[in-house]
Structure formats: C-alpha cells, structure tokens
Amino acid sequence: MRTKEDLFDLLKRNCEERMEDLFPKGIPRDIQSRYEREFERFRKTDAPEELYIYRVLSNLADSMQVPLIVHGTARNSLLTYLLGDGLVNPMKPYYYCKSCGHYERIPDYTYGVDAGPRFCLECGGLMHGEGFSLDERFVWGIDDTPKRIHFEYLSIIGFTEMARKNLCMAFNKRQVIPITDFNSKSGRTVLRGIGILPEERNNEINYDLTILDKGRIALLLSHEDVENMGITLVITSDSSQAQALYERIPRARSRYDMLGAPLPPSISKWKRIDWDGFLTEEELAVTSLLEPRSYEELVMNIVFAKRAMNRTLNSHRGYLIPSRDHLFRELLKYENDEDRAYEIAEYVGNGYAFNTERRQEWKQLCTTILMPLDLKKTCERFDSLGPEANILDQLLHVMI
C-alpha cells in the first residue's frame, strides 16, 4: 500500500511528465510558477487521495474511451488539467509553439480559443490559443489554511462499478464498496458513490448493509457517518449527457476541427452538434438565436438559455453572471484587489448575498469593493453560483 508521501511523489512525476509532453521545447515561466505554487498548496493538504483517485478514474475513462464529466472547483487547478483529460486548461490565454518553444500571452481575451490560430513569429509553426482564465484561488483559497479539493464524476451507465474495481486495485489493502443513503423524500435508498474504508476499519462489521442490483452489497450510511468513520467517498453517478456522447457514431478528428473555428451562424448548423443531455431543444434555440460570436459568449448564452427556461434568470439591467469565476473577472475590471474580488465572488457563489439574514453583512462587504449598483443587485439574486469549469467541461465534451 502506497503511503501519502508515495502518492505525492507519484502525482508530482505524473504532472511533470505531462508538462514535458505539452511543452517539449521548454516549460514557460508562467506555467512553471503556477504549477509549483499549486503543488506546494496541494502538499499542505496532507490529503493526496482525491487527486490520486481523479488520476485513476481519468485513466480508466481514457482506456474505456468513454466520456468522464467532472464537476467541482478543483477543475480550476492546473494539476487536474495535467492529470486528467486535458480539456479545461485554467491558465490565462497564451500561444506556445511546440516547434521552437516560443511563448506569448494573449491580451484582451478571456478564452485563448477565441483568439484563433496564428503562425509563430520565430519559426512559422502553427500555434493555437490555449487557456480559459480560471483562477487558482477558487481551488486553494487565499490563506494558509489547507483547503481540501473535491470532485463529482458523471459518466456512462456501468462506469461506477468499473470505477469500484479499479479503485480496489489502486487501494489494494482497503475495502472499496458502494455507499448508499436513505432519501426521506422518495422513501428509497439511493446510491451516493463509492466508499474507500480506512485500513483500521476493514474488518469491522458494525455497518448497516443494503442490497443493490445483481446482488451487490452496499453500505447504508448517512453523510455524517461517512465523515465520522473517515471513509473517502467518491461521488459517481450516471449521466444522460455522457451516455449520449458515448452512443454517438465515433468520429476521428482533431480537437481543433471544432474549437477555434467560427461558431455556427444558424440554428440548422447548430443542430448538427449532438447536444443531447446538455441542452434541450428549447435551450438550443435560445442559445443559437442569441448568435454568440465567441466561445466566451457561448458560455454566457448557454447559461442565459438554461436560466430563462428554468425561470431563474437572476439578471439585473444587463448583467448576466454565469459563474463565480466570471464575477471575479468582472470585479477586476473596476481595479479591485484580486483577493478581495475572490472573497466577494465566493460570498455570492455560496448564496450569502441572497440570504436576507446576511443583508447587513453583505452591505458592509460592498463598502470594501468598487462595484456598480446594478451588479450588486444582480449578486443579490443568486442562491448559488457554480464554477465556470463545470460549464466548460460539459461544453467541451459536446463540441470536441
């Protein structure tokens, strides 16, 4: 059984090998600095298991050639980009030439893909815009308190059982077993994910058991039980979007056949993309009629369409905030301190500005930051605001 230090060393090697593949002519200083900064914060958590599990499940999905949609603020991390499927690059936009190592930042863009391809000024090689401007603060916080990362995994029917078997091999001295909980609303037992038991509890038998399909045994535990027993819970579930992606006719094409190309100008062309499980026909119609001119606008319009259809638009006089990352970037436009902008974005993302019992606290916070009144009013309409990486992860699985 690997120790914690073994896992940290393994993940460090995996990250550095991946960086060498991505940047064969030298790793740019910006990227090396962020990697070192993040890995130092990761070590302080003293909890390498979550990222190790992410690596195991990402490799499993790749070997099975099935989509794995991952939710959670940890998608903002450069480490998850290096250890996973390589779709959501959190860096600020840049060009990198793999032929000669030329690197340059792309100003005035949030998403590198919107800058389009260009030829290297040094050697003439073709370069593609990279990076989605996702800040690391949303993963690790801003103080010295270690912040644990977490993931939620969505994939095809049957992936959870395959994941359990692979985790059994990865944690070969610990029991790996499905975890269920009782849903009082439905009156049924529901599958929450996969539990990895601590070694010292492997032989204990004082758990409540339940039977799943095909006679599989699962533990029946509440959220509090899982926490108190020190069980590592891997949250996995079936996804209609992932299933729809898997059932498509396979298409061999470069990721840049779609990304970096002009967006479809009409709804007829939009319908050629299989949006099943991500956008309904009504949401697709609204998104395409808004005529997004960039991938950044596309994300905005998808969120607008989903909220409009769910009647949860939450905008005020032109401000549409699709994510806490977007709010963070919006606040920086008014020359606010980055850490303060992050704190406000987290506060709003957790629904605290919406909570009338916290209204006085919110008003006090607003005195510490420059923010237009209409933006402040918009912030007060969110009972929650998720990470932009969640939207991007689903979008990129559909578009590529």
Q: Across all residues in the chain, what is the average pLDDT? A: 84
Q: Quote the strand ranges of the chain, DSSP E.
A: 69-71, 94-96, 103-105, 118-119, 126-127, 152-155, 176-183, 188-196, 209-211, 217-220, 232-238
With beta carbons less than 8 A apart as the criterion, state whether 218 and 177 touch: yes
With beta carbons less than 8 A apart as the criterion, state whether 236 and 60 touch: no
84 or 35: which leads in pLDDT: 35
DSSP state for residue 229 in the 8-state scheme: T
- The whole-angstrom separation of Cα 354 and Cα 377 is 10
Q: Report the share of the chain in percent with pLDDT over 70.
A: 84
> Can you give the residue ranges of every domain in the chain?
4-91+132-140, 157-238, 262-399
Please say if the pLDDT value at position 42 is more than 90. yes
Q: Specify the 3-state DSSP secondary structure of 328.
A: helix
Q: Report the share of the chain in percent with pLDDT over 90.
A: 46
How do residues 140-184 score in pLDDT, each as one tens digit?
Answer: 999 888 788 888 898 888 888 899 999 999 998 788 888 888 776
What pLDDT score does 138 carry? Answer: 94
Residue whose C-alpha is closest to residue 59's, from 77, 97, 86: 86
- The pTM score is 0.87
